Every structure is written in structure tokens, then in C-alpha cells.
Copies of this chain bind each other. A is one copy, B any other.
Amino acid sequence: MTATSPGPIVLWLASRYENIELVQAALAHVCRQREIDGEMEHWIGMALREAVANAVKHGNRLDPDKRVLVKFDGVGNDLTIVIGDEGGGFDPERVSDPLAPENQMKTSGRGIFYIRTFMDDVSFSRGESGGTVLTMHKDLSKRGNAKGENE
């Protein structure tokens, strides 16, 4: 731990969409601790909401007895957020591109794209019990470039 890390914050939540609001409140707390401005908080929040929604919906399939893990961590200019579920996992390589013309008018399929757009580094792995573990990083030094655009 360094002076710039207030230590990890971990939440275990029942699989309910309404708990996304609590995750958002936890992010607000972390952003106060880490002095992350409102603009950047907004885009991290967008990615986080998508990630938790996916864990609840696709991972745990809304089974309220299955849990979603959310962990905030990282030191210095790195904010790390891990989202875990107790679902069956999936292959992120096989997710279709929402920018492809044939997908443009689809009513779904944009969540992971938003996560990748608004965070700086995103990776998926399998948890011990087979569920999905999504690890995403935000580089806090890139303030004023909060959307994660390259220029």
C-alpha cells in the first residue's frame, strides 16, 4: 500500500439490477478517496454499470442466490476494478462487433464495447468456480481524456 491507495474495497452482492446503484455509490466513495473528478467518474461508472449488469444478467442469470463480486483496488495512478460472477463463463473473443453494419440496429451487444471504450485496459478470465472475472484498469493520470480516446 502506498499513500495514494486507500486500500481495497470489496463488495459481494445478490444478483439484482438495483444493486448496481450501490456499486455506483461505492465508486463515488472511491473517487472521493482517490480524488478522481466527476467527468472521469462518469465514464468509469458507465463501464462499471455495464460490467455489473453483465454479471447479473448473463453470468448469474438473475439468480438472486448467486453473488456478484466487485473489488476496487490499485495504487497511485492505477484504479483497478474487478467484477466477478458465479455464472458459466463465456468466450469474449466470440462477442460480435457492435460497429459492424449488420449489428448497428441490434438492440443489444454494446456493453463490452462501452467497457473497452471507457476503460484503459480490460481483460476477462475464468474464476475458480468457472464464472467470469473481468478486470479493468483506469489510468488516473489521463484526466481530461476521460473517455479513453487515443487523441
Query: A residues near B, CB below 8 A?
Result: 1, 6-16, 18-19, 21-22, 25-26, 28-29, 33, 64-65
Give the one of A6, A14, A16 with max B CB within 10 A.
A14
Say whether A9 contacts B1, CB under 8 Å: no
CA distance A41 to B129 in the complex (A): 37
How many copies, total? 2
Say whether B9 contacts A14, CB under 8 Å: yes
Sample 12 A-B pairs with CB under 8 A, ordered by A number: A1-B64, A6-B18, A6-B19, A6-B64, A7-B14, A8-B14, A9-B13, A10-B12, A22-B25, A25-B26, A25-B29, A26-B26
Say whether B21 contacts A29, CB under 8 Å: yes
Given pairs A6-B64, A21-B29, 15 additional interface contacts (CB within 8 A): A6-B18, A7-B13, A7-B14, A7-B15, A7-B16, A9-B12, A9-B14, A10-B11, A11-B11, A11-B12, A18-B33, A19-B29, A22-B26, A25-B26, A26-B26
CA distance A22 to B26 in the complex (A): 6
CA distance A9 to B7 in the complex (A): 20
What residues on B are CB-neighbors of A15 within 8 Å?
7
The minimal Cβ–Cβ distance linking A137 to chain B, given in whole angstroms, is 19
Chain B residue with the shortest CB-CB distance to A69: B10
